[in-house]
Amino acid sequence: METTLIILKPDAVQRGLMGRILTRFEDKGLQVVGCKLMQISRQLAETHYESHKGKGFYDGLVRFMTSSPVLVMAVRGNAAITISRNMMGATFGSKAAPGTIRGDFGVSNSFNLIHGSDSPEAAERELKLFFKPEEVLSWPRQIETWVYDTSGGKVE
């Protein structure tokens, strides 16, 4: 099972889309194991997006991410990173396919509603930035046998 970081960005929060987007993750069968509404500090935004430092969009991205509260989530499931990124859709809302979060709710190439870790290494790093270890919980869900076929002794 993987755990990944999902951030519902300021535009998603301001547009009142938090519940609708979170529901998509739960409907898919992914487990929300950490969740909080927070205001990202400039320092945290700069650290989170440090790989983009020096790029033309970096300063605007940091300004945007600190402009309003965000909802950060730790989401767990089999192949959670790939599944989450597929659910998010293409980076730019204008290019995202219908049925994806960005495709259904976004049109902007700047305001793209959601962030999701793009690899296990990024997820590990990013989760530590936004959550203390005790804020990401583990518990067995009774529905797991209905979400994943484990009849063969492993998660499929």
- Strand-strand pairing, 70-77 and 31-38: antiparallel
Nearest to 61 by CA among 109, 124, 123: 109
What tens digit of pLDDT does each residue of 132-153 get? 999 999 988 888 888 988 788 7
pLDDT at 2: 97
Across residues 15-41, what is the average pLDDT? Answer: 98
Domain boundaries, the chain: 2-147
Question: What is d(CA 155, CA 147) in angstroms, rounded to the nearest whole number?
Answer: 9
Question: What is d(CA 110, CA 95) in angstroms, rounded to the nearest whole number?
Answer: 12
Tell whether pTM > 0.85: yes
Going by pLDDT thresholds of 50, 70 and 90, the confidence category of residue 78 is: very high
Is the pLDDT at 23 greater than 80? The verdict is yes
Catalytic residue among 115, 123, 127, 130: 115
Tell me if residue 48 is catalytic: no
Tell me the CA distances in angstroms from 115 to 72, 134, 150, 151, one per residue in order: 9, 22, 30, 34
pLDDT at 126: 98
Going by pLDDT thresholds of 50, 70 and 90, the confidence category of residue 95 is: very high
> For all residues of the chain together, what is the average pLDDT?
95
What tens digit of pLDDT does each residue of 53-70 get? 999 889 999 999 999 999
pLDDT at 137: 97
pLDDT at 127: 98
Fold for 2-147, please state it: Alpha-Beta Plaits (3.30.70)
Is the pLDDT at 156 greater than 80? The verdict is no
Tell me the two tokens of residue 126.
């990013």
* Maximum separation of any 2 CA atoms in the chain, in Å: 50
Is the pLDDT at 27 greater than 90? The verdict is yes
